[in-house]
A and B are shown apart, each in its own frame.
Chain A
Amino acid sequence: MKKAISLVALAAATLPGAALADFPVRPIQMIVPYAAGGSTDLTVRIVAETLERLYPGTTAVVRNQPGGGGGIGTSAAVNARSDGYTLGAGAQGPIAILPHLGGTDYSIDDVEFVGLYARSLQVMVACANAPFDDYDSFIASAAERAPQIGNSGAGGANHISAEAFAQAAGIAVESIPFGGSSEARTACIGGHIHAMVASPAEALSAVDSNQMTPLFVMEDERIDLFPETPTAVEKGVDFTWSSYKGIIAPKGIDDATLNWLRTAIADVVADPQFIEVMTEMGEFVTYEDGSAFEARVRRDGDMAYSVLDALDMLGVNN
């Protein structure tokens, strides 16, 4: 065993030119900017597992670096050595929204986009005891009194999406921040707020047991899980929003390594077993290559910018 390791080390040392073809010779680290156990963390672990299974001999290690709304771990990934061995989980909040709030040492321009592997669709739901139960009564009720919409944290993704929808639909809403989406969900089922933005997985069991009512879907088309629920687009409001999960890296990785990584992520997303496990968790598996992923993040970033501008929150942490 020891001999094998030293042979590999020798090979790596004497054949620097061949190192590209041999990528990876060391474990690949994937930094998750949240604590272990959240949905981003769990999906990255499944990506790592699938990668190891599809590319025998490859080791992928997940490292959790939570804190600062994901800013700390994302900064660690973006500022890592650009040799392809340190990657990051590209979550919407830290890459598209946090830099606008300030206090981060990176921006969208510092991020290399490897690939997107899942989107989290978003549904606006009415909570228990809310004075509305479908899209039309929601809009009508909002005209009289701004509904209280819970979100998972001020300046977080579903704070932005609720406010962005209100802007697009021309209604007023009152955003109520909670410490995480599960706190908001608890308050929603308990009837302490009127509505919230949830993922279909979060909403499904609660909708089945009449604890929540779906109002509209933030997609172009209706989704399979809630075929009865309209989209905002079909109600005449030009508004779509989804959260996503992808893999990012620091800028400056050489082309061969970057290509290897991009192909690897594409292979992972195409794997049937990966799709099955992810779907059971309520994730919407879809693949977007680096440039499509980047375009999506920039589009979101622009929308977040205009919402934060209206809320007077731009650069509050600078």
Chain B
Amino acid sequence: METIAYLAPLLQPQVFGIIALGVLGGILIGALPGLTATMGVALLIPLTFGMSPVMGLNMLIGIYIGGIYGGCVSSILLRTPGTPASAATVLDGYPMAARGEAGRALGMATVASTIGGLIAAVVLATLAPQLAGIALKFGAAEYFALALFGLTIIASLSGDLLKGAIAGVLGILISTVGADPIAGVMRYTFGIQGFASGFAFTPALIGLFALSEVFTQIERMAKQEPAVVLVKGRWPSRQDMRDSKGALVRGSLIGTLIGIIPGTGSGTASWISYNEARRSSKTPEKFGTGYAPGIAATESANNAVCAAALIPLLALGIPGDVVTAVLMGGLMIQGLAPGPMLFQTNPDVIVGIFGGTFLATIFMFVFGMALIPVFARILMVPRRLLTMSIVIFCYIGAFSINLNPVDLYTMVGFGVLGWGMQKFGFSQAALCIALILGPMMESNLRRGMLQTGDNILAFISGPITLFFLGLALFSLFGPVIARHLAQARIHKPN
């Protein structure tokens, strides 16, 4: 009964309006390469000073949810990840759009984002205090094991294991540029101050996926004029939905769990989810060729992270990712201290945020579906013009994040690298995963060694650590063993 009374501040036209506005703004911010959900939330915090807590926070949550979803638009249409969270969506989304099924791909992404968001929101509203405890169990060893497990994705993701491993190792080497996470010493910066925090992540991704594609297309255009791409429909087909069922459920749950663990984020979640969907699929060879479940897996996971990242924030006062860290600032300005006490002292705010998360997800679905034809029309633009505008967007996107000219060199450098990798059959995805997970693995390994006094056995002895290390071994050798068993069965005489 009380809970319903707490919902009252949510059920006002202004609050509805502000959430809708936040989501719409978020979608546009996410869809533009270089503008991230974090920036959107941070820049609009001053606007919330004068609002009631429920109104202000829900506007920010709307931007967050819309922003993470919006990233899929440019991933699918332009091969340019709008946010790092949707880099994995490029793998199946872009081939689908290139085939003339951009509408279907965007529709799948929208449905998947909505399902992921709703499942995580249900978990948030029902189990937040109980699940928040998981976040506290993660120390250096657990993060290390999780990152190592994530890196084993490279093995199954790249067709050629050796080339995949080379791309992954290259990614880890590249990620060591910048300040050493433990000693604070600069590594491989060649005295250039702009590289002091390493290669900036979003410019690197834009170069790796978008600019490299531009190069490839220019190469192709020199040979022949490409046909104009048609855009059909906006709903995923019934067959797509049936194929994607497993991927959607698994993606949502993986996203929720990863979201609860602070400091991992939606990039990690979408890659792990993609790999799980592929591993458990009956037709793994279809992944990467424009297969709907691939989009379902990544987009359900990255939007599940949004709501799930609110769990440790509200229940423990620990932000789950960068955006929730900014949200925590927003809460404190409202005079609310996030943490276990908030459930007792301000249940109205908690219920308001739960409700707002549901509302924002529903608005995201409505706007997303409504905007698909508008977004997809981008592809009707003649190829030559589109290619040139992508180049301009690459530059604007890479520069606008940090206003650091060095980031432009990063973007171009990674563009050339990505083009070369594509040409010679190295997996850009493997490099991308290593860029995300390499630093997490390195810093936690070294922090753990520092804490245990270089005792590797003490370091890997925790149950969660062993669980993830076991998963890593399984993910590496599982397919090989399964193949052996299958062959043994065939050869066995009856």
C-alpha gap A35/B137 in the complex (Å): 28
Find out whether the CB atom of A189 lies under 8 angstroms from the CB atom of B318. Answer: yes
Binds B, one of A110-118, A202-210, A229-237, A248-256: A202-210
Write the nearest CB–CB distance from B87 to chain A, whole angstroms. Answer: 19
Find out whether the CB atom of A182 lies under 8 angstroms from the CB atom of B319. Answer: yes
Find out whether the CB atom of B326 lies under 8 angstroms from the CB atom of A37. Answer: yes
Find out whether the CB atom of B38 lies under 8 angstroms from the CB atom of A182. Answer: no
Find out whether the CB atom of B339 lies under 8 angstroms from the CB atom of A177. Answer: no
The chain A residue with its CB closest to the CB of B181 is: A179
Write the nearest CB–CB distance from B398 to chain A, whole angstroms. Answer: 13
- Residues of A within 8 Å of B189, CB to CB, are 103
Beta-carbon contacts of A174-190 to B below 8 Å, as 1s and 0s?
Answer: 10111100110111011
The chain A residue with its CB closest to the CB of B45 is: A42
- Residues of A within 8 Å of B182, CB to CB, are 154, 177
Find out whether the CB atom of A186 lies under 8 angstroms from the CB atom of B262. Answer: yes
Number of A-B contacts (CB under 8 A): 157
Find out whether the CB atom of A36 lies under 8 angstroms from the CB atom of B38. Answer: yes
Find out whether the CB atom of B191 lies under 8 angstroms from the CB atom of A103. Answer: yes
Task: Known contacts A41-B42, A63-B403, A189-B136; decide if A205 and B339 are in contact (CB<8 Å).
Answer: yes
Residue B196 lies at the interface, judged by CB distance under 8 Å to chain A: yes
Write the nearest CB–CB distance from B403 to chain A, whole angstroms. Answer: 5
- Residues of A within 8 Å of B451, CB to CB, are 148, 176, 192-193
Find out whether the CB atom of A69 lies under 8 angstroms from the CB atom of B196. Answer: yes
Binds B, one of A20-28, A162-170, A277-285, A287-295: A277-285
C-alpha gap A80/B403 in the complex (Å): 14
Find out whether the CB atom of A190 lies under 8 angstroms from the CB atom of B137. Answer: yes
Find out whether the CB atom of B329 lies under 8 angstroms from the CB atom of A208. Answer: no
Find out whether the CB atom of B184 lies under 8 angstroms from the CB atom of A71. Answer: no
Residue B139 lies at the interface, judged by CB distance under 8 Å to chain A: yes
Find out whether the CB atom of B136 lies under 8 angstroms from the CB atom of A42. Answer: no
Find out whether the CB atom of A176 lies under 8 angstroms from the CB atom of B450. Answer: yes
- Say which residue of B41, B45, B197 sits within 8 Å of A69 (CB atoms): B197
Find out whether the CB atom of A205 lies under 8 angstroms from the CB atom of B326. Answer: no
- Residues of A within 8 Å of B180, CB to CB, are 154
Find out whether the CB atom of A208 lies under 8 angstroms from the CB atom of B193. Answer: no
Write the nearest CB–CB distance from B118 to chain A, whole angstroms. Answer: 27
Residue A221 lies at the interface, judged by CB distance under 8 Å to chain B: no
Find out whether the CB atom of A64 lies under 8 angstroms from the CB atom of B318. Answer: no
- Say which residue of B137, B185, B337 sits within 8 Å of A317 (CB atoms): B185
Write the nearest CB–CB distance from B159 to chain A, whole angstroms. Answer: 34
Task: Known contacts A71-B196, A316-B184; decide if A37 and B38 are in contact (CB<8 Å).
Answer: yes
The chain B residue with its CB closest to the CB of A45 is: B46
19 A-B contact pairs sorted by A residue (CB < 8 Å): A37-B325, A39-B329, A42-B333, A49-B46, A63-B403, A65-B402, A67-B200, A68-B194, A72-B196, A72-B404, A75-B193, A104-B193, A154-B182, A178-B447, A182-B328, A187-B140, A189-B317, A206-B339, A280-B333
What 5 pairs across the A-B complex have the smallest Cβ distances? A68-B196, A154-B184, A36-B42, A37-B42, A205-B337
13 additional contacts (CB under 8 A) given A37-B41, A182-B319: A37-B329, A46-B46, A63-B403, A66-B197, A72-B196, A103-B189, A153-B179, A154-B179, A154-B183, A182-B325, A187-B140, A189-B136, A277-B49
Q: Identify the B interface with A (CB < 8 A).
A: 38-39, 41-43, 45-46, 49, 135-140, 179-186, 189, 191, 193-194, 196-197, 200, 262-263, 312, 316-319, 322, 325-326, 328-329, 332-335, 337-342, 402-404, 443, 447, 450-451
